[in-house]
Structure 1
Amino acid sequence: MANAYLVSKWKIWYKSLDVNHDGKISKADVEESRNKFSELHELNDEKKALISENFDKWWNLFIFGGNLDAEISEEEFVGKLNKEFSADKAKFVAKISDCFDMFFDVIDTNKDRSISEEEFLYAFKAYGHENVALDKSFFQAYGPKGGLVPLKDIVASWINFATSEDASKDDVVKKGFDSGV
């Protein structure tokens, strides 16, 4: 069973996935995030199709568990994560690692294995986070060098966010959300 600190972070993650802010995660959130992401990046039809496929694959595999037409409540989301975490923590961490590797690989549209502020802002805007000043501050917390943060650093921070029960450990993602992102 996960401790209260980790459960609180899963609830934050849930809210961040509720792109249209209607209190549930559904296919509407998938479509809205995918469409916003494609529009912001002004993708051509070929790239748009690939992004669409990758978005659907990620949501289906890691959020909906194979049923993209489902609606998920916060209680169901947290319960599923808690069940997986409690059953086998190492397996859970591996799954979360795959989840964020895949997610940020999609976000890294130019495939340079780093995330620029623009890519970061577009990703957050696509997921319904519209406060650019807060999103920029969140990005700066990663200490970008030459305007870029290595993809592996961002992925590691999100794995920590979704798997660490240690409230004393630095958590850049939680701090970002706590700031109002």
Structure 2
Amino acid sequence: MANTFLIKKWTRLYKTFDLNKDNVLTIADAILFSDRFIESNNMQGEQAKDYKTKYLDWFRDFFLKGGEKMTEDSFVNKMTEEYNKDGKEFEKTIRQHMSVLVSITDVNKDNMISKDEFVEALRAMGLVTFDEKYFNAYPQVKPSCIEANLFLQSWVEYCCNSDDSNVSNLEKARLYGFRIIDTI
């Protein structure tokens, strides 16, 4: 069963992606993010078009669940319903959704999330200051790079782990980044 720990994380996730801070997720939030990310990564032409299409499709599937808008309560209720129905299927679905998010964050397609890619994603979310501790909390397989699979796993654990007494270091990094914990 979904508990307060999961609900707190899903709520924070929702609020983070409500970029225009109007308390309703719409495609306008996704467009704002994608436009910022495309500009900050100097994408042009087909690369920019492909990125925007993939991101908007992901946002529609993951957050809007096929609708036009999503309130915080509706999002948390849908996540709770899906989680409670079948936890293993929920985790599989989260892994699929977050795999798409990680792949579009990996701009240069090297299966690594570089510090630059990480920072640009945070900036696109409207975060103007960067906390080095957040990035450095992830294991670095080479200097300033997080393996994409580890980044994906942190998202899956963040969205699926209901046990606040059993939090991996990957999830701690994500919790720290979403300001759910103060230290890592």
If the length of structure 1 is used for normalisation, what is the TM-score?
0.92
Structure 1 CA distance, aligned partners of 2:5 and 2:65?
Answer: 24
- Residue 21 of structure 1: how far off its partner (Å): 1.8
Which amino acid in 2 is paired with 1:138?
Y
- 1:148 — aligned with what? 145
Residues 1-181 of structure 1 aligned to structure 2 (within 5 Å): 1-67=1-67, 70-132=68-130, 134=131, 136-144=132-140, 145-168=142-165, 169-170=167-168, 171=171, 172-178=173-179, 179=182
Q: Is the 8 A contact 1:16 1:127 kept in 2?
A: yes
- Residue 137 of structure 1: how far off its partner (Å): 2.3
Aligned length: 176
Q: Is the 8 A contact 2:13 2:178 kept in 1?
A: no
Give unpaired runs (5+ residues) of structure 2. none
- Structure 1 segments (4+ residues) deviating >6 Å: none
Q: Deviations over 1:145-177 (max 9, x none)?
A: 321110000100110000001112232211222
Percent same amino acid among aligned pairs?
Answer: 27
- Residue 129 of structure 1: how far off its partner (Å): 2.1
Q: Is the 8 A contact 1:20 1:128 kept in 2?
A: no
- Residue 24 of structure 1: how far off its partner (Å): 1.6
Give unpaired runs (5+ residues) of structure 1. none
**SS in structure 1 opposite 2:121?**
helix
Which amino acid in 2 is paired with 1:36?
R
Give me the CA root mean square deviation. Answer: 1.4
